[in-house]
Amino acid sequence: MSIEVGSKVQGKVTGITNFGAFVELPGNITGLVHISEVADSYVKDVNDHLKIGDQVEVKVLSEKEGKLALSIKQTIDKPEGQAQTYTKRPFRKTDNRPKSNFQPKETFDDKMSKFLKSSEENLSSLKRNTESKRGGRGGRRG
């Protein structure tokens, strides 16, 4: 049986890894459902969603060098106009300090003018030092 990209097929979960699940399709063809294609929400552990031996419907996403990329979440038909219900990875709070309404004292234009002034000073200083070493105009004569 030839399996076409874009088709939906029934398969059996034959293996689970930390990056996805292997699904055997009709004709002894095995494909991989990547962890990002297991469910429409954040999946931390594939074992929370699938077990070996489960019968699942998968959509064939692509076939490259004999390897099939499959998706379970794309087989679920959503009503038109409904936004994706994918929830992002939970935010890990690392900063326990209270948030303040910090307002910078300097505006961008102030910072830019300071930068340009210091940059011009640095360039003129560099130019003076290199000319004295080359013996060019403005160099010390002794």
d(CA 51, CA 89): 22
Find tokens 């419907």 and name the residue: 57
d(CA 86, CA 31): 23
d(CA 138, CA 2): 83
Q: Computed from CA positions of residues 115, 121, 123, 125, in that sequence, does the dihedral angle turn out positive or negative?
A: negative
Tens-place pLDDT, residues 48-87: 999 999 999 999 999 888 889 999 998 887 655 555 555 6
pLDDT at site 96: 65
Per-residue pLDDT of the chain (142 residues; tens, 9 = 90+): 568 888 899 999 999 999 999 999 988 889 999 999 998 888 899 999 999 999 999 999 998 888 899 999 988 876 555 555 556 666 676 666 666 666 667 888 889 999 999 999 999 988 888 877 766 565 555 5
Q: Is 75 helix (H, G, I), strand (E, B) or coil?
A: helix
Please give the domain boundaries of the chain with CATH numbers for all domains. 8-75 (2.40.50.140)
Tabulate helix, strand, coil % of the chain (nearest 5): 25, 25, 50
Length of the chain: 142
Q: Which residues contact 101 (CB under 8 A, 6 or more apart)?
A: none
Triad 37, 39, 45: Cα angle to 5°: 90
Question: Which CA distances in Å does 95 have to 5, 47, 88, 99, 100?
Answer: 46, 31, 20, 9, 13
pLDDT at site 41: 86
